[in-house]
Structure 1
């Protein structure tokens, strides 16, 4: 091989390598930024509640991703309303374009406080979630109406180094209390992987609510044993919900037992002008 041929070969190799590197960087950038807008669709940010984790959204995520929605199932710290809301707010600030913010259970309290004037948040969706007003707590809202049987099912609290307490649901009571309309085998896995919430999370007063300035949608189960259905109905009406769905016979984890209904409502929120 003569010198000219060798140089041309090296030049072609470097050009190919550079092109491959650019393609890889672009691809990695796309993978590392799942919240990139697709076809103008808003990013759906889903926030789980106490005794759950991000995988509790899998059924809903599957349906939204299939339809081309950018999605993020955030890992809610479950440490306290303000600190958790600040954490979720930091995620929201990293997203370009419109956002639909979804909260389950205690995650509803978090999304209520996480908007903080972020103009990209176009809609709130409460999935069996708390929608507190200023000064209200999850504990107070739960006890305002009869029907919650959560407290007797809690395990002895875990003492934390800072003097606080972590709470779990007893695994033997998890299925009946939290996820009665989910297959037993699935509920057992959920009981083992449940993430605890602190006493602060349940008892810290909420700040100014985003639902007073941001349109909201509500869905909950009629047989929710954590948050009474009457409390959900009250919060939805007070927030002037655009659409409220009470799923007959559904448990507290309506997003697991009825992912189609939840995904459809989120789409309604995402497409309403």
Structure 2
């Protein structure tokens, strides 16, 4: 009986071996190589940097579209404390990512990415989405007031921090019209309640040497932006020698929320 059982087990093993294709199992890495060859080279990681009075969820529509196109995405939680400190945090995030990166910043996020990307050979493109692209020595406050049209100041509420600095938020009853006029009101109401305050130091900090001098830049400008006037956005894009400038008609400052497809398309263009 024992001999019969041994032969029965051996027969089962031989049948299983015959059913497994040659090259499977330990040599399966060759299959991965074929998959990589079929799908082409690895896409760059897209790193998204939100600005003041928003949070990383403001990129949700863009993230969804980029992931659908096969891009790895990281939406950074921008501290909104100071340009230098926020840029240092972003540098550390970038250092944790293997391979090429495309950076996209919205609003104040453009200040941060301009400084954080400097000297990083892995950052292949900078995308400015209704964003500041400062020259050395300029602040967000300087740039928002360079051309007429910003009405942000009249909508702000102040939180005293007790150390001489202040946190700034947009009053919830003013948020929709000021920041997100082309976003459904119910979504703007939620965004107003969940907005992250920016320290006033961050808005007055002077920028360091800008990365857009050495890294290709792409700009999306919002024609109905009440935070950063459209004239300022176009002027910064021209000064940076942008590879492409896409204007979204009737778009508010929250263009990444209201037009995520257009933003994602510009990022994909920069990635290529």
Q: Quickly name the TM-score band, shorter chain normalised.
A: 0.7 to 0.9
Secondary structure class of the residue paired with 1:128? strand
1:120-175 Cα shifts (integer Å, max 9, x gaps): 000000000000000000001010100100000111x1111432100000000000
- Structure 1 position 39, deviation (Å): 4.3
* 1:250 has 2:237 as partner: no
Q: Give the C-alpha shift of residue 115 in structure 1.
A: 1.1
2:144 aligned with 1:179: no
Match of 1:151 among 123, 146, 153: 153
Matches within 5 A, 1:251-266: 251-266=252-267
With normalisation by structure 1, the TM-score equals 0.84
Aligned partner of 2:222 in structure 1 is 221
Q: Secondary structure at the match of 2:246?
A: strand
SS at match of 2:111: helix
Mapped to 2, the partners of 1:248 and 1:45 lie a distance apart of: 25
User: What does residue 239 of structure 2 align with?
Assistant: 238
Report the count of equivalent residues: 236
Shift, 1:102, TM fit: 0.6
2:48 maps to 46
1:41-120 to 2 correspondences below 5 Å: 41-120=43-122
| Corresponding position: 1:162 with 2:166 | no
Contact 2:118 2:210 in 1 (8 A): no
Between the aligned partners of 1:199 and 1:218, the Cα distance in structure 2 is 25
Q: Secondary structure of the residue that 2:170 maps to in structure 1?
A: coil
Question: Which secondary structure does the structure 2 equivalent of 1:168 belong to?
Answer: strand
Deviation per residue, 1:9-65 (Å, 9 max, x gap): xxxxxxxxxxxxxxxxxxxxxxxxxxxxx9410000000000000000000000000
Moved over 6 A (4+): none
Any unmatched runs of 5+ in structure 2? Answer: 1-39
The answer to whether the 8 Å contact 1:81/1:201 transfers is yes
Q: Which residue of 2 aligns with 1:24?
A: none
RMSD: 1.5
Q: Distance in 2 between matches of 1:121 and 1:239?
A: 16
TM-score, length-scaled by structure 2: 0.85
How far did 1:220 drift? Answer: 1.8
Cα distance in 1 for partners of 2:58, 2:127 equals 16
Matches of 1:55 and 1:141 in 2, distance apart? 26
Task: Look up the match of 1:18.
Answer: none
Larger radius of gyration: 2
